Every structure is written in structure tokens, then in C-alpha cells.
């Protein structure tokens, strides 16, 4: 891990640094991991750049030997690369690119792609479109990563929003059909979570009982930390916007994912107004409801990924109500004024 030995204390890598005012805000990881090793239990870490972010997988090889931990870590990273190629919105071999360019015709895809899209449709229905896999016409209008910062024309945004409707997606076995001219899917709001779940399953199949899977801030803590829970810190949104590293809270987890969506991840400022990457699918505009971040904790990382966005879009009251109805799901809402609200079952510690 960046700047620290994996056996002592570490911090998750950052995607990008925050740029000066008026330029793109760096997409810094929402979470930092506090890892404590154990004498004689040498972890094996693999790092790569996939899914447009830094990916880090640490495998603890007790009972299997260091060589098998190395093989498992290598295999896990290869799996991430395969899914990155399948789920990317562009590139040769991308199932998503094939669907988006098919002009409404049925497209044969890999089993995992069909599975992910099927799940994304369920999450879209569950959240009443607060998460919607067909947001690509809207997201394509915003440049949150590059240097071309401009607010799209209102009429153009309105036309794009009219194309967003998850019900236009049909999955039949391994065939996907996206109906309607101009429509396109974007799995960026759920792909990392889905991949984290598949990596966890792969590692378990290789006999690994303890690992940390960090897909650009989407963290899955597999197993326990030598008899205890892993401690995962949640970043302070206000500090992140100021380009500083600070935690606002921490949760202790085992066999759980922790996923945060925050206004500081990607965005830009124009005349003192922050335009961030969390868009309301119904309007195509950045959400402005007094929230700075939403963290979801659950055993299902794909669900956590989708809900972190959806609950942010829904706002504190409706998002909290939704999270409370879902078994095994906990949520932490952080407001722009620094206040926090959590689901009844979430145990967390405030920083400081």
C-alpha cells in the first residue's frame, strides 16, 4: 500500500490528486484501510490499474503457503482485468460497447455480463430509478476527469434524461437487448461491486480465508483480522474537498463490503459552484440535496455499490428509509454541514 508497509499500517491508494480550484477535483478514495499484520503471516499484495482506478488485492496465505497466496493474488488480478474488458464502455471485447452500438438489436454476451445487467435492472427497479444503468446519455455530456469543464445546455440535458429508462433493457439468458434509439448503458455505478464479489468467490475457491479487496475505494474485507474485525475509515468529505487527508468515522467489519459515494470523488468548480459526478438520472444534473457522502455496508458489494449512489440521489430521508428496509444493509449519511445520520444497526466510531 502507498507509503506504508503492508504488515504495519497503511492507507488505500488515491485515484488522482485534487486539482486547483476551477479544475477537476481529484477522485480520491473514500476509504482508508488500517491494516495490522501478524507475525509469520506474510501477505501478498498485487496492484494494478483497472476500472479507471487503482486496484489492490492483498491475500493472506496462512495454511496454504506463500506460493499459493501469490498464485491466488495473481489469479484474482487477472480476473479483474477480464471483467474490466467486458464491462468497459469501449474497447475491443467489451460487451457493453457491443450492446451500445447494436442499434436496438439483440446482443450475445458473456454469462457474467448478463448476470451483472440483470442485477443492475433489479437495483434500478428497487430504487425507482435513483440508480439507473441507462444513464450513459447523461454521463457522456459531462467531463469530470479531463480539462474541458462546462455545464451542458439545459435542453440537451433534458433530451438525454428522456432516454434514461432501465425498463428499455431486456435480458434473456445471455442475450441483451437495449430498445430505443440513442440509449446506452453505463455499468460504472455497479461494476466494481460486482467484480469485488466475484474476486471474493474466486479467492474462497482457491482456499483463501482472509483477504482485502480494494477496487478504487470499493473495499471488501474477507474473513477476519486474526481473530478480530477489520477497521475501515470513512473519509471526511470536507477535508477531501480541501485536498486534505482526514477521517470522519470508522466501521469494524468482517466479510463485508464498504462502499462510499461522495461529492469529492470527481468534479469541477465554476464560479464557486461545485459540479460533481453523482447525477440524478431523472434530470442529468449533479445532485444538490445537502449530502456530501453516503457509505453502504453489506455482504453484497454489488448491492452496496448501487445503493451508495441511489441513496445519495434519494437524499437523507428517503435513502435512509430504503436502507432500513433491506436486510443486512447499513448506511451512513454525511451532510455538507458535517452532521451524520446512520441506520439503526450500524455501529461506527466518530473520528477524534
Range with the largest mean pLDDT of 22-31, 88-97, 163-172? 163-172
Cβ neighbours of residue 161 under 8 Å, at least 6 residues apart? 137, 138, 281, 282, 283, 284
- pLDDT per residue over 212-234, tens digit each? 999 998 999 999 988 899 999 99
- pLDDT per residue over 257-278, tens digit each? 999 999 999 999 999 999 999 9
The reported pLDDT for the residue numbered 148 is: 79
The reported pLDDT for the residue numbered 67 is: 67
The grid cell for 203 is: 479467492
pLDDT band at 21 (very low <50, low <70, confident <90, very high): very low
The reported pLDDT for the residue numbered 241 is: 93
Residue 35 pLDDT exceeds 80? no
3-state secondary structure of 81: helix
Residue 18 pLDDT exceeds 70? no
If one counts every other C-beta atom within 10 angstroms of the C-beta of residue 89, the result is: 17
The grid cell for 275 is: 459540479
The reported pLDDT for the residue numbered 323 is: 98
Residue 96 pLDDT exceeds 50? yes
- pLDDT per residue over 41-89, tens digit each? 578 999 999 988 999 999 987 655 556 899 999 999 999 999 999 999 9
Residue 102 pLDDT exceeds 60? yes
The reported pLDDT for the residue numbered 63 is: 52
- pLDDT per residue over 294-325, tens digit each? 999 999 999 999 999 999 999 999 999 999 99
Rounded mean pLDDT, 329-337: 97
The sign of the dihedral angle between the CA atoms of 242, 245, 248, 253 is positive
In contact, 331 and 297? CB cutoff 8 Å: yes
Rounded-to-integer distance, Cα 220 and Cα 226, Å? 16
The reported pLDDT for the residue numbered 145 is: 81
Q: What percent of the chain stands above pLDDT 90?
A: 78
Q: What's the Cα-to-Cα distance from 93 to each of 39, 103, 128, rounded to whole Å?
A: 44, 18, 31
What is the DSSP code (8-state) at residue 7? T
Residue 126 pLDDT exceeds 60? yes
The reported pLDDT for the residue numbered 65 is: 58
Pairwise pLDDT comparison (25 vs 128), residue with the higher score:
128
Average pLDDT across the chain, whole number = 88
Rounded-to-integer distance, Cα 289 and Cα 279, Å? 12
Complete edge-to-edge strand list for the sheet that includes strand 175-178: 107-108, 175-178, 169-172
- pLDDT per residue over 175-208, tens digit each? 999 999 999 999 999 999 999 999 999 999 999 9
Amino acid at each position: 500500500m502507498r507509503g506504508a508497509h503492508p504488515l504495519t499500517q497503511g492507507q488505500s491508494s488515491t485515484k488522482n490528486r485534487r486539482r486547483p480550484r476551477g479544475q477537476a477535483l481529484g477522485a480520491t478514495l473514500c476509504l482508508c484501510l488500517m491494516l495490522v499484520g501478524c507475525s509469520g503471516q506474510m501477505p501478498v499484495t498485487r496492484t494494478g490499474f483497472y476500472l479507471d482506478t487503482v486496484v489492490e488485492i492483498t491475500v493472506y496465505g496462512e495454511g496454504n503457503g506463500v506460493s499459493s497466496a501469490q498464485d491466488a493474488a495473481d489469479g484474482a488480478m487477472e480476473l479483474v482485468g477480464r471483467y474490466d474488458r467486458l464491462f468497459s464502455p469501449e474497447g475491443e471485447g467489451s460487451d457493453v460497447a457491443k450492446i451500445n452500438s447494436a442499434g436496438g438489436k439483440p446482443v450475445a454476451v458473456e454469462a457474467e455480463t448478463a448476470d451483472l445487467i440483470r442485477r443492475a435492472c433489479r437495483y434500478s427497479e428497487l430504487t425507482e430509478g435513483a440508480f439507473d444503468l441507462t444513464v450513459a446519455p447523461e454521463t457522456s455530456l459531462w467531463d469530470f476527469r479531463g480539462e474541458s469543464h462546462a455545464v451542458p445546455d439545459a435542453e440537451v440535458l433534458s433530451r438525454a434524461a428522456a432516454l434514461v429508462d432501465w425498463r428499455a433493457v431486456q435480458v434473456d439468458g445471455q442475450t441483451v437487448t437495449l430498445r430505443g434509439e440513442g440509449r446506452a448503458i453505463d455499468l460504472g455505478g455497479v461494476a466494481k461491486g460486482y467484480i469485488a464479489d466475484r474476486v471474493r468467490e474466486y479467492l474462497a475457491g482457491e482456499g483463501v480465508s482472509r483477504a482485502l479487496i480494494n477496487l478504487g475505494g470499493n473495499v471488501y474485507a474477507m474473513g477476519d483480522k486474526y481473530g478480530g474485525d477489520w477497521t475501515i475509515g470513512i473519509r471526511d468529505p470536507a477535508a477531501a474537498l480541501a485536498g486534505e487527508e482526514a477521517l470522519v468515522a470508522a466501521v469494524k467489519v468482517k466479510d463485508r463490503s464498504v462502499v462510499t459515494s461522495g461529492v469529492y470523488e470527481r468534479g469541477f468548480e465554476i464560479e464557486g459552484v461545485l459540479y460533481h459526478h453523482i447525477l440524478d438520472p431523472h434530470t442529468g444534473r449533479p445532485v444538490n440535496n445537502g449530502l456530501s457522502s453516503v457509505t453502504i455496508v453489506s455482504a453484497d458489494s454489488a448491492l452496496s455499490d448501487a445503493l451508495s449512489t441511489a441513496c445519495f440521489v434519494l437524499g437523507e430521508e428517503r435513502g435512509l428509509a430504503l436502507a432500513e428496509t433491506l436486510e443486512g444493509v447499513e448506511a451512513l449519511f454525511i451532510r455538507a454541514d458535517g452532521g451524520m445520520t446512520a441506520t439503526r444497526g450500524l455501529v461506527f466510531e466518530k473520528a477524534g
